[in-house]
Amino acid sequence: MKKSFSLIEVIIAISLLSVVLTSLLQIKENNLFLFEKFNNSIAIDNELAVLSSYIDIEKDEKIYLKDKIDFKDDDIRKLYKESFAEVKSTKLDPIEVGSEEYPIKLNITESLLQLKENGAKKIYTFRLEY
């Protein structure tokens, strides 16, 4: 008698192989999607970090990155050509700390830095008055 695989065994093996391959392809696609999303998130965070160093906490304004930084590289200049953020500042209620002899007033300003597409960052500025 000749040893060989029956038709049912071959069909089951091909079915299992197709399920495994489909699962691996789905995992690969999910990883690529998450990697791209992570890279976009890093780019937004970097842009917000750069723009946050140029805000004036006393006024609401629109900040264009091209006006604040002189880019030497053309690729970077094109990338950030229309990059801007809107700043909305709000003064929060001051907090009284310290003693009666040495009163200290803590003034807090909350600035919301909003990019044009997405991404936002809240920046808190504290000033002590004594």
- The predicted model scores a pTM of 0.55
pLDDT digits (tens, 9 = 90+) for 55-74: 766 678 887 777 777 778 78
Q: Is 87's pLDDT higher than 80?
A: yes
Q: Can you give the three-state secondary structure of the chain, one letter per residue?
A: CCCCCCHHHHHHHHHHHHHHHHHHHHHHHHHHHHHHHHHHHHHHHHHHHHHHCCCCCCCCEEEEHHHHCCCCCHHHHHHCCCCEEEEEEEECCCEEEECCCCEEEEEEEEEEEEECCCCEEEEEEEEEEC
